[in-house]
């Protein structure tokens, strides 16, 4: 299977590393913002075709599918472009930065029948998979998820500390991980959602702090705190408070509420959530099935985000 990857930045390289571990997969085209920087990444990974235009990759007959690791603000438009070109597509989280755009991608997927998946990585991290397997087996039930998503990002830089060409967003990007995961793990739709935000950054124009509360139809609740102002350990930390134990997930690692390590090494074929996400995308295409984290499956998340966005706009008014 031949893949084009758009977005040769920090997260794009994580996908390239993951794809290198999947048999029968070749990245044949790399699309980036600047030709020189993109060529350097392509040389490092042995990718033959380089361009600054997604359309160049889509025009290639040898491209079966596309992975989009581009700026949030163009995710939906590029996903539509890929589907219209007849290519399967995986778009990194978030699917869109508006509900209308997310709905447009879901509608196009249904029209084309192609595989369209969104990179909600938390569904694939071994730590969260371990919890999910026990929930579905009836061994655990979530009472509350307490989640902290913390960064120190007062300047527009990426995960590698390099200047970014676009502005990140606490609600439409980082909250999307938790909103989707909470409903997925609770096994119940979200029926109540509330949000408040702190001051907007004078230059970036985004809220730097945010608090979100969620409730599922089965009674489970979630408290989510997000910040770009946190000068300390960064990342997202999930505390699962269950009827039968407490667990803390830190990306691919898991401990009990008493910080006792939980062995998740046998949960899946890899300990890398990004690789597992890519494996699901490839497998769904090969098997002609809907992937976990398909655009249709994650649409309820964006419906909740749209509701929260309207709440925050009303508060600002």
Position with higher pLDDT, 73 vs 164:
73
**Residue intervals in the chain for CATH 3.30.360.10:** 125-267
* Ranges for all domains in the chain classified under CATH 3.40.50.720: 2-120+274-293
**Mean pLDDT score, 269-273:** 95
**125-267 maps to which CATH number?**
3.30.360.10
Asked whether the predicted pLDDT for residue 233 surpasses 90, the reply is no
Closest residue by Cα to residue 167 from 131, 197, 208:
208
- Per residue in 42-60, pLDDT (tens digit) is 999 999 999 999 999 999 9
**Has residue 244 got a pLDDT over 90?**
yes
pLDDT per residue as tens digits for the range 116-165: 999 999 999 999 999 999 999 999 999 999 999 998 877 767 666 676 66
Q: Flag whether pLDDT at 196 surpasses 80.
A: yes
Question: In the block, which residue shows the tokens 């985004």?
Answer: 206
* pLDDT tens-digit map of 274-306: 999 999 999 999 999 999 999 999 999 999 999
Inter-CA distances, 120 with 174, 272, 298, Å:
10, 14, 8
Q: Which CATH number fits domain 2-120+274-293: 3.40.50.300, 1.50.10.10, 3.30.565.10, 3.40.50.720?
A: 3.40.50.720
Q: Please state at what angle helix 176-186 crosses helix 126-136, rounded to 10 degrees.
A: 30
């Amino acid at each position: 299977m031949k893949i084009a990857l758009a977005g040769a930045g920090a997260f794009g390289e994580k996908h390239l590393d993951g794809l290198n571990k999947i048999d029968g997969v070749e990245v044949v085209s790399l699309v980036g913002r600047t030709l020189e920087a993109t060529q350097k990444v392509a040389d490092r990974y042995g990718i033959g075709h380089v361009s600054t235009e997604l359309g160049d990759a889509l025009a290639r007959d040898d491209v079966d599918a596309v992975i989009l690791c581009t700026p949030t603000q163009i995710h939906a438009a590029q996903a539509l472009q890929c589907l219209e070109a007849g290519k399967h597509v995986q778009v990194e989280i978030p699917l869109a930065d508006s509900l209308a755009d997310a709905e447009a991608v879901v509608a196009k997927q249904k029209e084309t029948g192609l595989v369209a998946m969104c990179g909600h990585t938390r569904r694939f991290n071994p730590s969260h998979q371990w919890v999910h397997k026990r929930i579905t087996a009836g061994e655990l039930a979530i009472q509350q998820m307490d989640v902290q998503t913390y960064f120190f990002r007062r300047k527009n830089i990426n995960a590698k500390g390099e200047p970014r060409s676009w502005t990140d967003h606490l609600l439409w990007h980082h909250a999307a991980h938790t909103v989707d995961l909470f409903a997925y793990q609770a096994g119940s739709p979200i029926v109540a959602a509330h949000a408040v935000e702190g001051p907007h950054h004078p230059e970036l124009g985004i809220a730097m702090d945010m608090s979100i509360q969620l409730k599922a139809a089965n009674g489970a609740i979630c408290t989510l705190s997000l910040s770009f102002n946190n000068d300390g350990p960064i990342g997202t930390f999930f505390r699962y408070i269950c009827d039968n134990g407490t667990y803390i997930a830190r990306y691919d690692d898991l401990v009990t509420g008493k910080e006792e390590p939980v062995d998740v090494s046998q949960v899946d074929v890899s300990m890398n959530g990004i690789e597992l996400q890519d494996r699901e995308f490839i497998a769904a295409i090969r098997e002609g099935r809907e992937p976990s984290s398909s655009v249709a499956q994650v649409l309820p998340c964006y419906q909740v985000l749209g509701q929260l966005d309207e709440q925050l706009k009303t508060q600002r008014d």
